[in-house]
Structure formats: structure tokens, C-alpha cells
Amino acid sequence: MISKKMTTALNEQINKELYSAYLYLSMSAWSHGRNLKGFASWFSIQAREELGHAMKILQYLEDQGAPVRLLPIDAPTATFASPTAAFEATLKHEQFITESIHKLMAQAVEEKDYATQGLLQWFVSEQVEEEAHSVEIVEKLRLIGEDPRGLLIVDRELAQRQAG
């Protein structure tokens, strides 16, 4: 049985995942407004993925017979200095989410909550992937700097992302 403390922490993680979706929707809208459709598409797919993460935790709580408490979602940042700045914010946010997942895992280990550890192991692996993709894109954007041709190439590359 899942503890009240873990239930509260997982409800808070649902909120963080929903905020992530909201943030990436904001980044998608910002990118679309600059005619960077590949960036917009990448962020839109990322938003849907984050919504899926929230739903995975929500379903787990329901399966455990634990109460789901949806919390208010803060408004995300709506403007960015550049596409590079948007992806630097993405990387920083993913690092924040990784830290949050690690804290949840530590709590689950401390509580000897093996079922929650199983759920969280999927998220631990997912965050390795999330950060690696973010780092790769940030490094490419830093490499090209303000070169419009390079930016268009990255935009075209990001447009190739398929929903997973």
C-alpha cells in the first residue's frame, strides 16, 4: 500500500509534469510565432509526451487506490531571447524534473515501496533520454550561434521528430 507521504509527492509530480506540458506548449507557440515550424513541432510533441507522463502517474495512483489531487498549474514563460535560450531553458527544466524524480525514488527506497520504485525506474530512464536530447540540441544551437542557415537546418531536423 502506498503511503500518504508518497501519494502527496506523486500528486506534486503530476503537477510538475503538467507544468512541463504547459511550458512546452508555450515554447511551441513562441517558435511558431517566429516561423520556426520545426521547433514548434518538436515542442508540441514534447508537450504531449509530458502529458503522457502525468497520466502515467495519475493512473498509478488510481491503481493503488490512492487519491489524485490536481493542483493549480503556474503560467509558463512565454517569451525567449532566442531558440538557443528556449532549449537552454528546456535543458534546465529537464534537469529539475530529473532531480524531482530522483527525490521520489529515494523516498520510495526509504519507504521500501517496491511498486513505486518500479514506476519510478521508468521515469529515471526516461529522464536520461530527455536530458541527452536536450543537451544535443543545445550544443548544436550553440555551435551555429546566430547563423540563420544553421538555424534553418536545425529547424528542418527538429521537424523530423515523430511522436513516440
Which pLDDT band holds residue 141 (cuts at 50, 70, 90)?
very high
C-alpha cell at 132: 541527452
Max Cα distance, the chain (Å): 56
pLDDT of residue 114: 98
C-alpha cell at 147: 547563423
Q: What is the pTM of this model?
A: 0.95
- Give the model confidence (pLDDT) of 98-133 as tens digits: 999 999 999 999 999 999 999 999 999 999 999 999
Helix intervals (H) in the chain? 4-33, 37-63, 83-110, 114-144, 148-159
pLDDT of residue 53: 98
- 1.20.1260.10, 3.40.50.880, 3.30.365.10, 1.10.260.40: CATH of 4-159: 1.20.1260.10
pLDDT of residue 48: 97
- Give the model confidence (pLDDT) of 6-64 as tens digits: 999 999 999 999 999 999 999 999 999 999 999 999 999 999 999 999 999 999 999 99
Answer yes or no: is pLDDT of 164 > 80. no
Q: How far apart are CA 123 and CA 21, in angstroms?
A: 16
- Give the model confidence (pLDDT) of 66-95 as tens digits: 999 999 999 999 999 999 999 999 999 999
* 155: number of Cβ within 10 Å: 20
Residue type, 39: F
